Amino acid sequence: MIRISPLKPRPLPDKLIYVPTGSINDSIFFQQFKIFSTKTGDYGGFITLSKSEAYINGKMRPSLYIDHLFSARFGKGFGTALLDFARTVSKKVGCEGRIHLCADGYFRPNAIPHVFYRRYGMNTGIEEIDKVLDKFVQKRKNARYTDFSIVEMYYPPVTYEKTETIYRKSRNYLD
């Protein structure tokens, strides 16, 4: 008689990302992935990814481009989980964990995502902009669409190049 011990079920993670079968491969092109809460069943948002290249630290390198990231529940970890997922996918498709995106405030003009991305560890490659973003992070303030324009952001952070001051803006509440 063969005895089989009962299987121990693994606990579900707090969040699940729906990955369509066969969607993660070397030719990933504008694939959308959705995230859900396993505790409440709530829809948490989505991320749209494509394999691309970016000018990073002086040369073109493969990088996973985040075309769109939408979090339906702010402050619940969905955005961070989607960025973590993008980094994992980046490694699987040969981009060595590099991700990049264009941050803009189109969908939430009173709380643009630049500060969230900076807190995550991304940078713009422009020291002046990153210093202003760091002030928002330190003071735990949301930035508005009037504070920043559309800017590319990278993970891991890129090195700063010598540039003329591209961005100058002083806000009394940041000083």
Q: Output the tens digit of pLDDT for each of the chain's 175 residues.
A: 777 777 888 888 899 999 887 677 767 778 999 999 999 999 999 999 999 999 998 899 999 999 999 999 888 999 999 999 999 999 999 999 999 999 998 888 888 999 999 999 999 999 999 999 999 999 999 999 889 889 999 999 999 876 544 444 434 334 4
Range of the domain at 137: 15-20+28-155
The whole-angstrom separation of Cα 123 and Cα 132 is 11
Do 79 and 116 meet the contact criterion of CB atoms below 8 Å apart?
Answer: yes
Distance between start and end Cα atoms, the chain? 77
Q: 150: domain CATH number?
A: 3.40.630.30
Which residues are CB-contacts of 103 (< 8 A; sequence separation ≥ 6)? Answer: 112, 113, 114, 117, 148, 150, 151, 152, 153
- Tell me if 83 is assigned to some domain: yes
- Tell me if 165 is assigned to some domain: no
Q: Which value, in Å, is the radius of gyration of the alpha carbons in the chain?
A: 19
- Tell me if 3 is assigned to some domain: no
Domains of the chain: total? 1
- Tell me if 141 is assigned to some domain: yes
pTM: 0.84
